Amino acid sequence: MTETIQITDSHCHLDFDVFDAERDQVVQRALAAGVTRMVTICTKLRLEPQVRAIAEAHAPVFYAAGTHPMSAADERMTTVDELVTLSRHPKFVGIGETGLDYHYTADTKAVQQQSLRIHIAAARETGLPLIIHARDADDDMARILSEEHANGAFSCVMHCFSSGPGLARAALDLGFYLSMSGIAAFPRSSDLREIFAAAPVERILVETDAPYLAPPPHRGRTNEPAYTVHPAKLGAEVFGMDWPDFAAQTQANFNRLFTKAAQYRAAA
């Protein structure tokens, strides 16, 4: 039965204002849909206390924190020590999101790259996975990830992956993961679906990026973790797998990458 199949929303933003009036209900709807874990992402470190409080208040919710690349020039530059200190919270499970976004903010690429390297160093030191946002910056992203990985290994997920095949291959060659969001279900995303189909299924996660990018049949609505089932079922089609088998595979993948969340759940 569909309701018994468990999946994880590996990336959402439950602290956003759109959820203020019904955050508890959003979490409950996710659980009812079989989404038994959610990772809510802090994108501005000054807001970390609010994001942490959401994770503390809801048993299925974990969190990560970092400086989004589009905010890198406007926010105080973080330090490795600050991120390492934050990571000691038992429900803090990832570093980021961080990355490069040249779509609207190419003029701040230098500070974005500086921030990215700081986050990478924190991921390397903590052993927690790096959570990467990449848009219109494929060449620089592949170069920096490769350079930094050569300086010392770290784990990573390319969140809401919608870049080109070159960056996908570079990330996979480094042992990283690709996360499938509702974008992959958009009618015009056939090229993106082909990129996912060429990747090892052992390196695929699913997410919503809620409240953004609601998948069909919810386009035009506020996205929420309960809708993770839609990119996950698309993933099953892309990889030619039965839905329960693909869901179980993504759970295993999440547990392998987000070991702290997996261990926390096993100990709870």
Q: Phi first, then psi: what are they for 9, rounded to 5°?
A: -85, 105
86, two tokens: 């934050």
> Which 8-state DSSP code applies to residue 147?
H
Supply the CATH number for residue 254's domain: 3.20.20.140
For the four alpha carbons of 52, 222, 178 and 252, in that order, the dihedral sign comes to positive
Q: Residue 267 has what pLDDT?
A: 58
Grouping H, G, I as helix, E, B as strand and the rest as coil, residue 85 is: helix
pLDDT of residue 2: 43
Q: Give the number of other CB atoms < 10 A from CB of residue 263.
A: 13
> Is the pLDDT assigned to residue 1 strictly greater than 50?
no
User: Considering the entire predicted model, what is its pTM?
Assistant: 0.96
How much is the pLDDT for 161? Answer: 97
- Residue 101: strand, helix, or coil: strand
Q: Round the average pLDDT of the chain to a whole number and report it.
A: 96
Structure tokens at 229: 């089932």
Q: How confident is the model at residue 265 (pLDDT cuts 50, 70, 90)?
A: low
Number of domains in the chain: 1
Range of the domain at 108: 2-267
The answer to whether 168 and 178 have CB atoms below 8 angstroms apart is yes
d(CA 132, CA 116): 9
pLDDT tens figures, 48-74: 999 999 999 999 999 999 999 999 999
* CA trace torsion 41, 202, 234, 183 (10° rounding): 40
* Whole-angstrom distance, CA of residue 243 vs CA of residue 35: 14
Rounded distance between C-alpha atoms, residue 60 and residue 236, angstroms? 24
